[in-house]
Copies of this chain bind each other. A is one copy, B any other.
């Protein structure tokens, strides 16, 4: 399955130093805020990605829109509903006619159609990763009690995006760029464009209103609502009545091998019912686990087939802080993740919670980052660059988005490492060390990739 690998756009990657970044541009809307990471940064251009964080209040609705890039969304906090409109798929969720009647609605439309009818609506919750294709209309709704916080990676260098590397969104409704909001350079350019033309920024407003009236076969007054020029609510609006049909929320089905890679038998069976979501938050979901060090959960296209289409994958890691006892007695003994490099992907790491210290080394062994990282920051580690992650005193939780659906890492130390896989003779000669020392290098660290912070005295665990 490694064989067919679409190419990403080639970009400039003369990275001399990296930084842990926070979003620099903030939009306030009626029921939430949207924050963008600066798009002109060297490392974002090298990786060919953009990133957005949304904070949606309870009853907040992120207006329907589509993007020119596929995205992975990580649900940092809260729960919600996702609508993804897939062209050509059937409206398979419907309110029974009788139910509508009891609500006292007897319009002609309800009569003839038997209540509302729409495409599948999906639920999600904290710890989920949502995988969303480019070009399809989507909306998010916070139906929980606390704020819904999402971090999205938008892969503009993805083969699916045939436009340039600029991230673009197309709103179907509202006035996503009303006056008086601050935003990014691109957003501001759009806003100034909108102001010049007195447009709302939603694309229906770009058309001749008579044509829109004709196309929808509705009157001009309704078209004025669609244009949304007077709308001052922004991208995230408050929607108090929102009784969308949705089945009871169940825990996600566990992954069952053999069932997950359906052969493509037509649109109905593949795209329309494709799974878009997997939870990486539950400890029991871990793929790597060291009770004294931490755990790592990976999500690739073997587990979530749509990722093969999106050419993206993700990894969620938790590195434990040392117990107070250990810290008092031995000094810093927080967990460490083995130095490794991504052989076939860029890695875009967002710190979900806690803090830590990262060290990143580029080609020719030059250090490009050595510093603290903390909750809310993002750091991009280019392909082949080597990174060490160390938990801080609050522990460290991160989500890493990767620009390959089968991202592969290569650890330098530990049980799965390059060092251990090489013959002693190679190590002895390369490093000019004794056989004894070569064996220490190979076997003193028996753990896989997540290391407890303690210094052991031998190679046995």
Contacts and interface: CB of A to CB of B under 8 A. Distances in A.
Interface in A123-171: 133-137, 139, 141, 157-166, 168-171
Contacts of A159: 5-8
Nearest to A420: B91
Contacts of A370: 208
A206 to B, nearest CB: 3
A403 B162 contact: yes
A364 interface: yes
Contact of A7 (B8, B205, B411, B459): B8
Choose among A48, A162, A440 the residue with the greatest number of B CB atoms under 10 Å from its CB. A162
Interface in A381-411: 382-384, 386, 388, 390, 403-404, 408-411
Contact of A410 (B137, B239, B341): B137
A255 to B, nearest CB: 15
Contact of A194 (B47, B216, B364, B424): B364
Contacts of A239: 425-426, 429
A193 B441 contact: no
B341 A135 contact: yes
A343 B218 contact: no
Contacts of A208: 359, 370
A109 B439 contact: yes
Given A89-B421, A364-B194, A163 B382 contact: yes
A308 B116 CA distance: 39
A216 B166 CA distance: 42
Contact of A168 (B68, B384, B441): B384
A364 B177 contact: yes
Interface string A421-461: 11111111111110111011111110000010101101110
Given A91-B420, A170-B365, 7 more contacts: A85-B422, A87-B409, A116-B423, A160-B344, A207-B388, A216-B413, A217-B455
Interface string A77-104: 0000001011111010100000000000
A432 B206 CA distance: 19
Interface string A195-207: 0010111111111
Given A116-B424, A135-B384, A2 B271 contact: yes
B107 A211 contact: no
Contacts of A118: 420-424
B382 A64 contact: no
B410 A135 contact: yes
A9 interface: yes
Nearest to A264: B1
